A and B are shown apart, each in its own frame.
Chain A
Protein backbone atom coordinates (compact mmCIF):
# COMPACT_ATOMS: atom_id res chain seq x y z
CA UNK A 1 0.00 0.00 0.00
CA UNK A 2 1.23 3.49 -0.87
CA UNK A 3 1.48 6.09 1.87
CA UNK A 4 -0.93 8.20 -0.18
CA UNK A 5 -3.60 5.54 0.38
CA UNK A 6 -2.57 4.98 3.98
CA UNK A 7 -3.22 8.66 4.62
CA UNK A 8 -6.91 8.16 3.76
CA UNK A 9 -7.63 5.07 5.82
CA UNK A 10 -9.18 4.92 9.22
CA UNK A 11 -9.74 1.97 11.52
CA UNK A 12 -13.37 0.84 11.39
CA UNK A 13 -13.39 -0.42 14.97
CA UNK A 14 -15.08 2.16 17.20
CA UNK A 15 -12.79 3.99 19.63
CA UNK A 16 -9.79 2.05 18.45
CA UNK A 17 -7.68 5.10 19.26
CA UNK A 18 -8.87 8.64 19.91
CA UNK A 19 -9.62 9.24 16.21
CA UNK A 20 -8.88 5.83 14.69
CA UNK A 21 -6.20 7.43 12.54
CA UNK A 22 -3.61 6.86 11.20
CA UNK A 23 -3.32 3.10 11.02
CA UNK A 24 -0.13 1.90 12.67
CA UNK A 25 2.11 -0.02 10.33
CA UNK A 26 3.88 -3.01 11.82
CA UNK A 27 6.56 -5.25 10.36
CA UNK A 28 6.28 -3.67 6.96
CA UNK A 29 8.59 -4.41 4.09
CA UNK A 30 9.13 -1.43 1.83
CA UNK A 31 9.12 -1.73 -1.92
CA UNK A 32 9.81 0.97 -4.46
CA UNK A 33 7.90 1.18 -7.73
CA UNK A 34 8.26 4.03 -10.17
CA UNK A 35 5.15 6.13 -10.74
CA UNK A 36 4.69 8.99 -13.14
CA UNK A 37 5.14 12.45 -11.59
CA UNK A 38 2.31 14.86 -12.36
CA UNK A 39 2.79 18.28 -10.80
CA UNK A 40 -0.86 19.33 -11.18
CA UNK A 41 -2.04 16.19 -9.44
CA UNK A 42 0.44 16.68 -6.59
CA UNK A 43 -0.57 20.31 -6.13
CA UNK A 44 -4.21 19.37 -5.97
CA UNK A 45 -3.98 16.48 -3.55
CA UNK A 46 -1.55 18.18 -1.19
CA UNK A 47 -4.32 20.05 0.62
CA UNK A 48 -6.10 16.77 1.28
CA UNK A 49 -3.19 15.09 3.04
CA UNK A 50 -3.03 14.88 6.80
CA UNK A 51 0.52 16.10 7.03
CA UNK A 52 1.29 15.14 10.63
CA UNK A 53 0.00 11.61 10.08
CA UNK A 54 1.93 11.30 6.86
CA UNK A 55 5.16 12.55 8.35
CA UNK A 56 4.98 10.47 11.51
CA UNK A 57 4.16 7.35 9.48
CA UNK A 58 7.00 8.05 7.07
CA UNK A 59 9.43 8.53 9.95
CA UNK A 60 8.25 5.29 11.58
CA UNK A 61 9.20 3.56 8.34
CA UNK A 62 12.60 5.22 8.27
CA UNK A 63 11.73 7.79 5.60
CA UNK A 64 13.09 11.03 6.96
CA UNK A 65 12.91 13.37 3.98
CA UNK A 66 9.66 15.21 4.74
CA UNK A 67 9.80 18.59 6.51
CA UNK A 68 7.92 19.03 9.79
CA UNK A 69 5.36 21.30 8.26
CA UNK A 70 3.95 21.56 4.79
CA UNK A 71 5.62 24.51 3.03
CA UNK A 72 3.27 27.35 2.12
CA UNK A 73 4.51 27.54 -1.44
CA UNK A 74 5.68 24.07 -2.39
CA UNK A 75 8.31 24.08 -5.15
CA UNK A 76 8.87 21.36 -7.70
CA UNK A 77 11.72 19.77 -5.79
CA UNK A 78 9.55 19.43 -2.72
CA UNK A 79 6.70 17.97 -4.78
CA UNK A 80 9.00 15.45 -6.44
CA UNK A 81 10.26 14.28 -3.09
CA UNK A 82 6.72 14.08 -1.74
CA UNK A 83 5.68 12.16 -4.87
CA UNK A 84 8.45 9.67 -4.16
CA UNK A 85 7.33 9.18 -0.56
CA UNK A 86 3.58 8.87 -1.12
CA UNK A 87 3.32 7.40 -4.61
CA UNK A 88 6.42 5.30 -5.13
CA UNK A 89 7.02 3.60 -1.81
CA UNK A 90 4.66 0.84 -0.85
Chain B
Protein backbone atom coordinates (compact mmCIF):
# COMPACT_ATOMS: atom_id res chain seq x y z
CA UNK B 1 0.00 0.00 0.00
CA UNK B 2 1.21 3.46 -0.79
CA UNK B 3 -0.01 7.01 -0.93
CA UNK B 4 -0.21 8.91 -4.19
CA UNK B 5 -1.65 12.15 -5.42
CA UNK B 6 -3.63 12.50 -8.58
CA UNK B 7 -3.17 15.68 -10.58
CA UNK B 8 -6.40 16.19 -12.51
CA UNK B 9 -6.97 18.33 -15.59
CA UNK B 10 -9.07 21.47 -15.27
CA UNK B 11 -11.69 20.23 -17.74
CA UNK B 12 -15.10 18.73 -17.00
CA UNK B 13 -14.57 19.01 -13.25
CA UNK B 14 -17.75 17.20 -12.35
CA UNK B 15 -16.60 14.12 -14.30
CA UNK B 16 -13.11 13.74 -12.84
CA UNK B 17 -13.68 11.65 -9.74
CA UNK B 18 -16.37 9.60 -11.43
CA UNK B 19 -13.98 8.70 -14.22
CA UNK B 20 -11.29 7.71 -11.73
CA UNK B 21 -13.77 5.47 -9.88
CA UNK B 22 -14.86 3.88 -13.16
CA UNK B 23 -11.26 3.17 -14.15
CA UNK B 24 -10.52 1.58 -10.76
CA UNK B 25 -13.43 -0.77 -11.33
CA UNK B 26 -12.45 -1.41 -14.95
CA UNK B 27 -8.87 -2.36 -14.00
CA UNK B 28 -9.87 -4.15 -10.79
CA UNK B 29 -7.76 -1.84 -8.64
CA UNK B 30 -8.33 -1.27 -4.94
CA UNK B 31 -8.55 2.53 -4.96
CA UNK B 32 -9.04 4.14 -1.56
CA UNK B 33 -9.47 7.77 -0.57
CA UNK B 34 -10.78 9.64 2.40
CA UNK B 35 -14.21 11.29 2.41
CA UNK B 36 -13.69 14.82 1.21
CA UNK B 37 -10.34 13.98 -0.43
CA UNK B 38 -11.78 15.17 -3.71
CA UNK B 39 -13.16 18.60 -4.51
CA UNK B 40 -14.13 20.26 -7.78
CA UNK B 41 -12.20 23.24 -6.38
CA UNK B 42 -8.82 21.51 -6.51
CA UNK B 43 -6.96 19.48 -9.13
CA UNK B 44 -5.11 17.51 -6.43
CA UNK B 45 -6.36 14.46 -4.61
CA UNK B 46 -4.54 12.07 -2.30
CA UNK B 47 -5.35 8.39 -2.83
CA UNK B 48 -4.14 5.06 -1.51
CA UNK B 49 -3.23 2.30 -3.95
CA UNK B 50 -1.65 -1.15 -3.57
CA UNK B 51 1.40 -0.40 -5.76
CA UNK B 52 3.08 1.88 -8.29
CA UNK B 53 2.01 -0.50 -11.05
CA UNK B 54 -1.60 -0.05 -9.98
CA UNK B 55 -1.15 3.71 -10.11
CA UNK B 56 0.11 3.43 -13.70
CA UNK B 57 -2.71 1.11 -14.70
CA UNK B 58 -5.35 3.20 -12.98
CA UNK B 59 -4.76 6.29 -15.10
CA UNK B 60 -3.55 4.68 -18.33
CA UNK B 61 -6.98 5.39 -19.90
CA UNK B 62 -7.84 8.49 -17.91
CA UNK B 63 -8.91 11.45 -20.01
CA UNK B 64 -9.21 13.83 -17.05
CA UNK B 65 -5.94 13.08 -15.24
CA UNK B 66 -2.66 14.77 -16.08
CA UNK B 67 -0.36 12.67 -13.91
CA UNK B 68 -0.21 10.57 -10.79
CA UNK B 69 2.60 11.08 -8.25
CA UNK B 70 3.97 8.99 -5.44
CA UNK B 71 3.18 11.20 -2.46
CA UNK B 72 6.24 12.38 -0.55
CA UNK B 73 4.40 14.93 1.45
CA UNK B 74 1.42 17.25 1.61
CA UNK B 75 1.08 20.03 4.12
CA UNK B 76 -0.52 23.44 4.65
CA UNK B 77 2.84 25.20 4.21
CA UNK B 78 6.13 24.60 2.47
CA UNK B 79 7.94 24.66 5.84
CA UNK B 80 5.81 21.83 7.17
CA UNK B 81 6.26 19.92 3.91
CA UNK B 82 10.04 20.21 4.27
CA UNK B 83 9.84 18.79 7.78
CA UNK B 84 7.92 15.77 6.51
CA UNK B 85 10.29 15.20 3.59
CA UNK B 86 13.40 15.50 5.75
CA UNK B 87 12.12 12.76 8.03
CA UNK B 88 12.49 10.23 5.23
CA UNK B 89 16.18 9.63 4.34
CA UNK B 90 15.13 7.32 1.50
CA UNK B 91 14.31 10.31 -0.66
CA UNK B 92 17.91 11.44 -0.45
CA UNK B 93 19.52 8.05 -0.90
CA UNK B 94 17.39 6.39 -3.57
CA UNK B 95 17.62 9.23 -6.04
CA UNK B 96 21.12 10.47 -5.24
CA UNK B 97 22.64 9.77 -8.65
CA UNK B 98 19.69 9.45 -11.03
CA UNK B 99 19.09 12.12 -13.66
CA UNK B 100 16.00 14.15 -12.91
CA UNK B 101 13.59 16.86 -13.86
CA UNK B 102 11.72 19.03 -11.40
CA UNK B 103 8.29 20.44 -12.21
CA UNK B 104 6.73 23.27 -10.22
CA UNK B 105 3.06 23.98 -10.65
CA UNK B 106 0.34 25.96 -9.04
CA UNK B 107 -3.43 26.07 -8.97
CA UNK B 108 -5.11 29.45 -8.64
CA UNK B 109 -1.84 31.27 -9.20
CA UNK B 110 0.74 31.84 -11.91
CA UNK B 111 4.28 31.34 -10.69
CA UNK B 112 6.98 33.20 -12.62
CA UNK B 113 10.01 31.31 -13.88
CA UNK B 114 12.06 32.98 -11.13
CA UNK B 115 9.57 31.88 -8.45
CA UNK B 116 9.59 28.35 -9.82
CA UNK B 117 13.38 28.23 -9.70
CA UNK B 118 13.34 29.50 -6.13
CA UNK B 119 11.00 26.68 -5.12
CA UNK B 120 13.20 24.09 -6.78
CA UNK B 121 16.35 25.45 -5.18
CA UNK B 122 14.89 25.33 -1.72
CA UNK B 123 14.70 21.53 -2.11
CA UNK B 124 18.50 21.40 -2.48
CA UNK B 125 18.61 19.86 1.00
CA UNK B 126 17.76 16.57 -0.74
CA UNK B 127 21.38 16.61 -1.91
CA UNK B 128 20.87 14.93 -5.27
CA UNK B 129 23.98 14.77 -7.42
CA UNK B 130 22.48 13.36 -10.65
CA UNK B 131 22.30 15.59 -13.69
CA UNK B 132 19.26 17.55 -14.65
CA UNK B 133 17.71 16.13 -17.81
CA UNK B 134 14.62 17.82 -19.15
CA UNK B 135 14.05 15.40 -22.03
CA UNK B 136 14.53 11.89 -20.73
CA UNK B 137 15.09 12.02 -16.99
CA UNK B 138 15.25 8.85 -14.88
CA UNK B 139 12.80 10.51 -12.53
CA UNK B 140 10.45 13.47 -12.62
CA UNK B 141 9.53 15.20 -9.40
CA UNK B 142 6.67 17.57 -8.93
CA UNK B 143 6.01 20.30 -6.40
CA UNK B 144 2.57 21.91 -6.48
CA UNK B 145 0.98 24.78 -4.64
CA UNK B 146 -2.79 24.99 -4.30
CA UNK B 147 -4.07 28.54 -3.79
CA UNK B 148 -7.70 27.52 -4.21
CA UNK B 149 -10.30 28.50 -6.72
CA UNK B 150 -10.57 32.26 -6.21
CA UNK B 151 -10.47 33.69 -9.73
CA UNK B 152 -13.75 32.03 -10.72
CA UNK B 153 -15.43 33.53 -7.67
CA UNK B 154 -14.05 36.97 -8.54
CA UNK B 155 -11.73 37.06 -5.54
CA UNK B 156 -8.03 37.97 -5.58
CA UNK B 157 -5.58 35.11 -5.10
CA UNK B 158 -4.33 34.82 -1.51
CA UNK B 159 -0.67 35.47 -0.74
CA UNK B 160 0.11 31.91 0.23
CA UNK B 161 -1.13 28.50 -0.85
CA UNK B 162 -3.36 26.58 1.54
CA UNK B 163 -1.89 23.22 0.55
CA UNK B 164 1.38 22.09 -1.02
CA UNK B 165 2.37 18.72 -2.46
CA UNK B 166 5.63 17.02 -3.33
CA UNK B 167 5.99 13.70 -5.13
CA UNK B 168 7.66 11.55 -7.73
CA UNK B 169 5.83 11.19 -11.02
CA UNK B 170 4.66 7.65 -11.69
CA UNK B 171 2.61 7.92 -14.86
CA UNK B 172 0.63 10.18 -17.17
CA UNK B 173 -3.01 9.96 -18.18
CA UNK B 174 -4.37 9.42 -21.66
CA UNK B 175 -5.04 12.95 -22.86
CA UNK B 176 -3.10 12.62 -26.10
CA UNK B 177 -5.83 10.31 -27.35
CA UNK B 178 -8.28 13.24 -27.31
CA UNK B 179 -6.27 14.82 -30.07
CA UNK B 180 -6.30 11.64 -32.15
CA UNK B 181 -10.12 11.62 -32.23
CA UNK B 182 -10.54 15.39 -32.42
CA UNK B 183 -13.67 16.19 -34.41
CA UNK B 184 -11.75 18.78 -36.43
CA UNK B 185 -9.89 15.93 -38.07
CA UNK B 186 -12.87 13.62 -38.49
CA UNK B 187 -14.02 13.10 -42.05
CA UNK B 188 -17.72 12.72 -41.37
CA UNK B 189 -19.59 14.86 -38.85
CA UNK B 190 -23.12 15.99 -38.07
CA UNK B 191 -24.71 18.51 -35.71
CA UNK B 192 -25.09 15.80 -33.07
CA UNK B 193 -21.48 14.54 -33.20
CA UNK B 194 -20.17 14.23 -29.65
CA UNK B 195 -16.77 15.73 -28.99
CA UNK B 196 -13.88 13.30 -28.66
CA UNK B 197 -13.11 14.06 -25.03
CA UNK B 198 -16.64 13.37 -23.78
CA UNK B 199 -17.03 10.32 -26.03
CA UNK B 200 -13.85 8.89 -24.54
CA UNK B 201 -15.02 9.66 -21.00
CA UNK B 202 -18.31 7.91 -21.79
CA UNK B 203 -16.41 4.82 -22.93
CA UNK B 204 -14.56 4.85 -19.60
CA UNK B 205 -17.80 5.29 -17.66
CA UNK B 206 -19.25 2.34 -19.56
CA UNK B 207 -16.22 0.18 -18.63
CA UNK B 208 -15.68 -0.60 -22.31
CA UNK B 209 -12.80 -3.04 -22.83
CA UNK B 210 -11.60 -5.49 -25.48
CA UNK B 211 -14.41 -7.91 -26.29
CA UNK B 212 -17.21 -5.71 -24.90
CA UNK B 213 -20.33 -5.39 -26.97
CA UNK B 214 -21.69 -1.85 -27.20
CA UNK B 215 -24.99 -0.74 -28.65
CA UNK B 216 -25.73 2.92 -29.26
CA UNK B 217 -29.45 3.14 -30.00
CA UNK B 218 -29.11 6.85 -30.80
CA UNK B 219 -26.06 6.43 -32.94
CA UNK B 220 -26.36 9.64 -34.99
CA UNK B 221 -23.04 10.03 -36.77
CA UNK B 222 -21.41 7.32 -34.67
CA UNK B 223 -19.12 9.33 -32.37
CA UNK B 224 -19.55 6.90 -29.52
CA UNK B 225 -18.91 3.82 -31.69
CA UNK B 226 -15.51 5.23 -32.62
CA UNK B 227 -14.25 5.71 -29.07
CA UNK B 228 -15.69 2.42 -27.81
CA UNK B 229 -14.15 0.57 -30.76
CA UNK B 230 -10.88 2.31 -29.92
CA UNK B 231 -10.93 0.60 -26.52
CA UNK B 232 -11.52 -2.77 -28.18
CA UNK B 233 -15.31 -3.14 -28.12
CA UNK B 234 -17.45 -4.52 -30.89
CA UNK B 235 -19.98 -1.85 -31.56
CA UNK B 236 -23.36 -1.49 -33.18
CA UNK B 237 -25.57 1.50 -33.71
CA UNK B 238 -29.13 2.16 -34.60
CA UNK B 239 -31.02 5.29 -35.36
CA UNK B 240 -34.39 6.26 -36.70
CA UNK B 241 -32.62 8.58 -39.11
CA UNK B 242 -30.66 6.56 -41.63
CA UNK B 243 -29.37 9.66 -43.38
CA UNK B 244 -27.06 10.33 -40.46
CA UNK B 245 -25.70 6.79 -40.57
CA UNK B 246 -25.20 6.67 -44.32
CA UNK B 247 -23.93 10.21 -44.69
CA UNK B 248 -23.31 11.26 -48.26
CA UNK B 249 -20.69 11.50 -50.95
CA UNK B 250 -18.96 8.43 -49.58
CA UNK B 251 -18.60 9.98 -46.12
CA UNK B 252 -20.55 8.30 -43.34
CA UNK B 253 -20.10 6.16 -40.27
CA UNK B 254 -18.46 3.53 -42.47
CA UNK B 255 -15.84 5.95 -43.78
CA UNK B 256 -15.08 7.16 -40.25
CA UNK B 257 -14.40 3.53 -39.33
CA UNK B 258 -11.95 3.35 -42.20
CA UNK B 259 -10.32 6.66 -41.22
CA UNK B 260 -9.47 5.31 -37.76
CA UNK B 261 -8.80 1.76 -38.88
CA UNK B 262 -11.64 0.46 -36.71
CA UNK B 263 -13.87 -1.17 -39.33
CA UNK B 264 -13.40 -4.62 -37.78
CA UNK B 265 -15.06 -3.42 -34.59
CA UNK B 266 -17.92 -1.40 -36.03
CA UNK B 267 -20.18 -4.31 -36.78
CA UNK B 268 -23.30 -2.73 -38.28
CA UNK B 269 -25.62 0.23 -38.10
CA UNK B 270 -29.32 -0.24 -38.55
CA UNK B 271 -32.22 2.10 -39.19
CA UNK B 272 -34.68 1.28 -36.48
CA UNK B 273 -36.37 2.62 -33.40
CA UNK B 274 -35.45 -0.48 -31.43
CA UNK B 275 -33.95 1.58 -28.69
CA UNK B 276 -35.93 4.46 -30.07
CA UNK B 277 -34.88 7.58 -31.92
CA UNK B 278 -32.36 10.35 -31.51
CA UNK B 279 -33.18 12.43 -28.50
CA UNK B 280 -31.80 15.63 -27.16
CA UNK B 281 -32.29 19.26 -27.83
CA UNK B 282 -30.84 19.57 -31.31
CA UNK B 283 -32.36 16.56 -32.95
CA UNK B 284 -36.08 16.53 -32.22
CA UNK B 285 -37.03 13.03 -31.26
CA UNK B 286 -39.09 10.80 -33.53
CA UNK B 287 -40.33 7.28 -33.33
CA UNK B 288 -41.92 4.95 -35.80
CA UNK B 289 -45.67 5.39 -36.03
CA UNK B 290 -48.43 7.10 -37.93
CA UNK B 291 -50.67 9.91 -36.80
CA UNK B 292 -53.60 8.04 -38.25
CA UNK B 293 -54.04 4.93 -36.13
CA UNK B 294 -56.37 3.32 -38.67
CA UNK B 295 -53.92 3.49 -41.51
CA UNK B 296 -51.97 0.27 -41.87
CA UNK B 297 -48.19 0.26 -42.12
CA UNK B 298 -47.11 0.71 -45.70
CA UNK B 299 -45.22 -2.00 -47.46
CA UNK B 300 -41.48 -1.86 -46.74
CA UNK B 301 -40.66 -1.75 -50.43
CA UNK B 302 -41.79 1.11 -52.64
CA UNK B 303 -43.30 0.21 -56.04
CA UNK B 304 -40.03 1.19 -57.72
CA UNK B 305 -38.09 -1.28 -55.56
CA UNK B 306 -36.44 1.25 -53.20
CA UNK B 307 -36.72 0.56 -49.49
CA UNK B 308 -39.40 2.56 -47.69
CA UNK B 309 -38.57 3.89 -44.25
CA UNK B 310 -41.48 3.96 -41.86
CA UNK B 311 -43.28 7.17 -41.01
CA UNK B 312 -42.30 8.75 -37.74
CA UNK B 313 -44.04 10.82 -35.07
CA UNK B 314 -42.67 13.12 -32.34
CA UNK B 315 -41.50 11.48 -29.19
CA UNK B 316 -41.39 13.08 -25.74
CA UNK B 317 -38.02 13.23 -24.00
CA UNK B 318 -39.09 11.50 -20.81
CA UNK B 319 -40.71 8.70 -22.80
CA UNK B 320 -37.46 8.26 -24.68
CA UNK B 321 -35.52 7.93 -21.44
CA UNK B 322 -37.93 5.49 -19.87
CA UNK B 323 -37.98 3.38 -23.03
CA UNK B 324 -34.19 3.46 -23.11
CA UNK B 325 -33.96 2.24 -19.52
CA UNK B 326 -36.63 -0.40 -20.10
CA UNK B 327 -34.73 -1.57 -23.15
CA UNK B 328 -31.56 -1.88 -21.10
CA UNK B 329 -33.45 -3.66 -18.33
CA UNK B 330 -34.40 -6.33 -20.83
CA UNK B 331 -31.37 -6.70 -23.06
CA UNK B 332 -28.29 -5.40 -21.25
CA UNK B 333 -26.01 -8.07 -19.83
CA UNK B 334 -26.10 -8.37 -16.00
CA UNK B 335 -23.39 -6.11 -14.57
CA UNK B 336 -23.33 -4.11 -17.82
CA UNK B 337 -23.53 -0.34 -17.87
CA UNK B 338 -25.97 2.12 -19.37
CA UNK B 339 -24.46 5.55 -20.00
CA UNK B 340 -26.59 8.36 -21.38
CA UNK B 341 -27.02 12.14 -21.47
CA UNK B 342 -29.84 13.74 -19.56
CA UNK B 343 -30.64 17.30 -20.65
CA UNK B 344 -31.80 19.60 -17.85
CA UNK B 345 -32.84 23.16 -17.21
CA UNK B 346 -30.29 24.24 -14.61
CA UNK B 347 -32.69 26.13 -12.34
CA UNK B 348 -35.34 23.45 -12.32
CA UNK B 349 -33.11 20.41 -11.96
CA UNK B 350 -33.37 18.22 -8.90
CA UNK B 351 -31.45 14.94 -8.48
CA UNK B 352 -34.79 13.13 -8.17
CA UNK B 353 -35.45 13.95 -11.83
CA UNK B 354 -33.15 11.17 -12.96
CA UNK B 355 -35.24 8.05 -13.49
CA UNK B 356 -34.35 5.01 -11.40
CA UNK B 357 -35.03 1.38 -12.08
CA UNK B 358 -35.07 -1.57 -9.67
CA UNK B 359 -32.67 -3.53 -11.90
CA UNK B 360 -30.04 -0.80 -11.87
CA UNK B 361 -27.67 0.90 -9.45
CA UNK B 362 -27.03 4.57 -9.99
CA UNK B 363 -23.27 4.94 -10.39
CA UNK B 364 -22.55 8.48 -11.51
CA UNK B 365 -24.25 11.73 -12.41
CA UNK B 366 -21.93 14.43 -13.81
CA UNK B 367 -23.00 17.83 -14.96
CA UNK B 368 -21.76 19.70 -18.00
CA UNK B 369 -23.13 23.17 -17.46
CA UNK B 370 -24.01 25.58 -20.27
CA UNK B 371 -25.50 28.26 -18.03
CA UNK B 372 -29.28 28.18 -18.25
CA UNK B 373 -29.32 24.58 -19.28
CA UNK B 374 -27.03 21.64 -18.72
CA UNK B 375 -26.68 18.05 -19.62
CA UNK B 376 -25.78 15.32 -17.22
CA UNK B 377 -23.93 12.15 -18.00
CA UNK B 378 -25.77 9.40 -16.17
CA UNK B 379 -24.08 6.06 -15.52
CA UNK B 380 -26.22 3.17 -14.34
CA UNK B 381 -25.08 -0.38 -13.75
CA UNK B 382 -27.36 -3.34 -14.15
CA UNK B 383 -27.43 -5.65 -11.15
CA UNK B 384 -25.33 -8.80 -11.22
CA UNK B 385 -26.99 -12.11 -11.95
CA UNK B 386 -27.17 -12.93 -8.24
CA UNK B 387 -28.67 -9.56 -7.38
CA UNK B 388 -31.21 -9.85 -10.19
CA UNK B 389 -32.23 -13.25 -8.86
CA UNK B 390 -33.03 -11.62 -5.55
CA UNK B 391 -35.00 -8.78 -7.14
CA UNK B 392 -36.91 -10.85 -9.70
CA UNK B 393 -37.20 -14.08 -7.74
CA UNK B 394 -35.89 -15.96 -10.77
CA UNK B 395 -32.75 -18.02 -11.10
CA UNK B 396 -30.28 -19.00 -13.80
CA UNK B 397 -30.22 -17.44 -17.22
CA UNK B 398 -33.77 -16.14 -16.81
CA UNK B 399 -32.62 -13.67 -14.20
CA UNK B 400 -30.40 -11.88 -16.70
CA UNK B 401 -33.09 -11.31 -19.28
CA UNK B 402 -36.10 -9.75 -17.69
CA UNK B 403 -39.54 -10.12 -19.16
CA UNK B 404 -40.56 -6.98 -20.99
CA UNK B 405 -43.75 -6.63 -18.98
CA UNK B 406 -41.93 -6.92 -15.70
CA UNK B 407 -39.21 -4.55 -16.84
CA UNK B 408 -41.68 -1.84 -17.72
CA UNK B 409 -41.10 0.22 -14.71
CA UNK B 410 -42.62 3.66 -14.81
CA UNK B 411 -40.86 6.11 -12.59
CA UNK B 412 -43.11 7.69 -10.01
CA UNK B 413 -41.50 10.97 -10.83
CA UNK B 414 -42.94 11.11 -14.29
CA UNK B 415 -46.38 10.29 -13.04
CA UNK B 416 -46.17 13.21 -10.65
CA UNK B 417 -44.54 15.51 -13.19
CA UNK B 418 -46.12 14.75 -16.55
A36, B265: Cβ atoms closer than 8 Å: yes
Whole-angstrom distance between the alpha carbons of A44 and B400 in the complex?
13
A4, B267: Cβ atoms closer than 8 Å: yes
Q: B210 interface residue, CB < 8 Å from A?
A: yes
Query: B210, B232, B268 — which one has the most chain A CB atoms within 10 A of its CB?
Result: B268
A41, B268: Cβ atoms closer than 8 Å: no
Tally of contact residues, B, Cβ under 8 A? 20
User: Least Cβ distance of A54 to chain B in Å?
Assistant: 15
Q: B28 interface residue, CB < 8 Å from A?
A: no
Q: A40 interface residue, CB < 8 Å from B?
A: yes
**Known A-B contacts A38-B234, A47-B397; A2 and B267 likewise in contact (beta carbons under 8 Å):** yes
Whole-angstrom distance between the alpha carbons of A45 and B264 in the complex?
17
Q: Which residue of A lies closest to B297 (CB)?
A: A13
Q: Which chain A residues numbered 2 to 35 have a C-beta less than 8 Å away from chain B?
A: 2, 4-5, 9, 12-13, 33-35
Q: Which residue of A lies closest to B273 (CB)?
A: A12
Q: B270 interface residue, CB < 8 Å from A?
A: yes
Interface of A, secondary structure class, is loop
User: Least Cβ distance of B237 to chain A in Å?
Assistant: 11
Interface of B, secondary structure class, is mixed
CB-defined contacts of A13 to chain B, threshold 8 Å: 297, 300
- Contact code string B227-244 (vs A, CB < 8 Å = 1, else 0): 000001010100000000
CB-defined contacts of B288 to chain A, threshold 8 Å: 12
A5, B297: Cβ atoms closer than 8 Å: no
CB-defined contacts of A40 to chain B, threshold 8 Å: 210-211
Whole-angstrom distance between the alpha carbons of A2 and B269 in the complex?
10
**Known A-B contacts A12-B288, A36-B264, A90-B268; A5 and B236 likewise in contact (beta carbons under 8 Å):** yes
User: Least Cβ distance of B394 to chain A in Å?
Assistant: 16
Q: B247 interface residue, CB < 8 Å from A?
A: no
Chain B residues with a Cβ under 8 A of chain A: 210-213, 232, 234, 236, 263-265, 267-268, 270, 272, 288, 297, 300, 310, 333, 397
In the A-B complex, the 8 residue pairs with the smallest Cβ-Cβ separation, listed nearest first, are A41-B211, A35-B264, A5-B268, A40-B211, A36-B264, A38-B211, A2-B268, A1-B268
